[in-house]
Structure 1
Amino acid sequence: MAISDVPPADCPPWLVPVHTLLLGIGVLCWDATYILMTRRALATKSYGMPLLALAVNLSWEMVYVFYVCEAVLETTGFFVWLLLDIGLVYTTIRFGPHDWKDSSPWVGRNIGCILGLLTAVGCVGHYTFAVWWLAEPGRGIGGDKRGKWWQGREGLDTTELAFWSAGLSQLNLSAGSVAMLLVRGHSGGTGYAIWFFRTMGTLFGLILDNAFMWWYWPAGYGFIVSPFAVFIWGTSMACDIVYPFLLWQVRRTELLLPDGRLVRCDSQPASTASSDHGKKKR
């Protein structure tokens, strides 16, 4: 992706290294997010990533690690994400049935199959999009694709390809996380640290790195300021900005059960409500 870009001669020589640094910060923030999300999910016996977002994310990482990535650093980053996804998948399948038992028991009973099917569909979608994008040089939103290389061919912009693929995943995750928090009414599987690293991962790994390149190389990175791109990252960031305030409100009213689970205050069993075993979180 951008690691293999060859900027115009009038661009500063440190352009690509700084972009790689910003992207690396984003990658590390997402590593921390996955680890913290798994730990929190195990502690609260819930799962932290919305089902559709997890499937879209898994399929995106699979397609890129096995097809799109060329540089060792890029492939390693995606492969580490896939390894960390194991914890997210496990907690989703392990605790999903309980989380869905009131709203849709059928989804809970079949959550593993549903996740597998959604991931398979996501792989087909991401793969066909990547194949189409890389079929001929010059695909993308305007700009000059000179200096963009993939498999020895110039004009194939995998950075823009990755932006649209990651943007879809990010929008699903940001909006889905807000929806899941409001529907559940408790913070099982999530928390402030998870929100912080997730938001920083988006900011550095999806927005700032590409915006930085656009500032010095507008012809090659004009996609980041296109209307649809602004909608994607703008909506994602808006959801991420609102999220901690919603989380604060939810945590004021949720209940901690003896086994570590968190539930919304109006869903506590009567037997538990009449005892001292459940306590209100402030």
Structure 2
Amino acid sequence: MENKHSLKYSRPKDSRLFESDKEIRFDIPCETEFDNLSYIGVVLHETWHVPNHHHEHFELCYVECGEGWFTIDGSFYKVSQGDLFLTKPGESHQGAAAGDLPFRLYYLGFNLELMRSLEAEYYKIGFNRVEKDEKGLVKSIFDNIFEELRMKIPLNDTMVQGLFIQLLVSIVRIYNASSLAGNQESKKLTSNMIDILNYLHADFRADLTIEDLANKFHISRSHLAREFKQHLGVPIGEYIRSLCLDKAKHLLRETGESVSSIAARLHFTSIHTFSIFFKRHSGKSPLEFRKQNTSR
């Protein structure tokens, strides 16, 4: 997980902190007892999206609140509050927030080369990559690790290592306790569908139509609409409107941009058109929403 907007702060040599209003991340150097922990962080915004990528370590994501989706090598998974999502070394994956709920995601990158028995257990985890943290144990351990990394007190390095091992074992137990191998079935996405999702999240335009997408990706409108609904569970038009509303809310809440500037950024034809759209789908005018949700 990377965040272009993160700000770097000075930290002790055992960890580096990157922090902004959108993300907090600690990078852990590969030294002594931290050989297995690469990074840990949390993203804090409902327009989060990470494009397709892969790496040579395990990565765990935990959805504290909100809804979203992930793919692994084209297999599609929906996630919601309390869900764990795991990727293994070498697997191509991507993800995004979805819907208009507040979104908060914890993530952890790690390798297990010095813990071979535990590594074997992680490789045994099958295609069912989404599991629910029913008791909130994973979140509790994540929070404790963050607290220790922020403090500089005696033996906190040792405490972080102990919490990290507790987290790894707890995760394996949650996956192993799932007796039904198909609790949440994945759906295979075509390369076109993956490209379309990346395109929608990377450079959103309110004036984008289904016909525009179909033409750009050289597929028929009916096939696009059918495949999108089948895999994501919502019509593509509804997904585009939801994405537009999410981005508008984010800009109104998190920036000082004028309403007219936000309307132009999202490619509405006028501030009037943007205001009508926003009120129709949120129940409030842009200015009312900003007033109620920020101190600006």
TM-score w.r.t. the length of structure 2 is: 0.23
Q: Return the structure number with greater helix share.
A: 1
Higher strand share: 2
With CA pairs under 8 Å and 6+ residues apart, which has the higher RCO, 1 or 2? 1
TM-score by length of 1: 0.24
